[in-house]
A and B are shown apart, each in its own frame.
Chain A
């Protein structure tokens, strides 16, 4: 999901 993807960024 875009949300999780974005949260894997620092």
Chain B
């Protein structure tokens, strides 16, 4: 494991902790897209199917368990927690995320690495994750006042895959490990989708004002 990969995993972990902190500390999920959280839960459930079959390392297993349980806990909180669910902006979070699931699944059927159940589901999870942030970014444009924890959460969530891209570049030059083109392309698409947000996040940080995405 190289520093980029480890930094990417830690960044991803921090984003999850920031979201849990926001929901726990403010007892509110305002500004958070339930649809993006549901898509991420689906991403982890379909990507980590080998959790019980292939043991890679303690670290690998622990991280997979953390990501699966936290994403399910957040979806549960936003749907069922008596206090938190009331702050969910249902009428603003209207992205048709079912189309993202359908599109990713069709892509995985046509472009898996291997045409086996596990590889098709793995490719599905990779394609889906690339677009999973869209409902959240759309919601962010609609919600004017989003708290800082939420913007930091999105920043770290977007940064982790960018660090993974650096990890693949590093591995390409050091281990001659070409990596999987599915991961490369999806990881690049995923990171590009955040560029707009990163720009406004940087502007808001420099001018120390609230982050505002243009309408």
Question: Chain B contacts of A5 at CB under 8 A?
Answer: 177, 179
Question: In the complex, which of the residues B60, B114, B177 contacts A10, with contact meaning CB atoms closer than 8 Å?
Answer: B60
Sample 7 A-B pairs with CB under 8 A, ordered by A number: A2-B178, A3-B114, A5-B179, A6-B180, A9-B5, A9-B164, A10-B63
Question: Please, how many residues of chain A have a CB less than 8 angstroms from a CB on the other chain?
Answer: 8
Q: Check A7/B12 contact, CB under 8 A, given A2-B177, A2-B180.
A: no
- Cβ contact within 8 Å between B183 and A9: yes
Quick check: is B122 within 8 A (CB to CB) of the other chain? yes
B180 near A10: Cβ-Cβ < 8 Å: no
Inter-chain CA distance A3–B116, complex, in Å, is 13
Q: Which residues of B contact A (CB under 8 A)?
A: 5, 9, 12, 50, 54, 56-57, 60, 63-64, 67, 113-114, 122, 164, 167, 177-180, 183
A2-B177, A2-B178, A3-B113 given as contacts; is B64 within 8 A of A8 (CB)?
Answer: no
User: In the bound complex, how far is the Cα of B64 from the Cα of A5, in angstroms?
Assistant: 16
Residues of A within 8 A of B67 (CB): 10
Q: Return chain B residues, CB-CB under 8 Å to A10.
A: 9, 12, 60, 63-64, 67
Q: Is the CB of A7 within 8 A of B50?
A: yes
User: In the complex the two chains form, is A7's CB within 8 Å of B54's CB?
Assistant: yes
Q: How many angstroms between the C-alpha atoms of A3 and B178 in the bound complex?
A: 11
Tell me, rounded to whole Å, the shortest Cβ–Cβ distance linking A4 to chain B: 8
Chain A contacts of B122 at CB under 8 A? 7
Measured CB to CB, the nearest residue on chain A to B175 is A5
Q: What residues on B are CB-neighbors of A9 within 8 Å? A: 5, 164, 167, 183
B193 to chain A: closest CB distance in Å?
A: 19
Contacts of A2 in B (CB 8 A): 177-180
Known: A2-B177, A2-B178, A2-B179. A8 touches B56 (CB 8 A): yes
For the complex, give the distance between the alpha carbons of A7 and B57 in Å: 12
Residues of A within 8 A of B12 (CB): 10
**A7-B121 Cα distance, complex, nearest whole Å:** 12
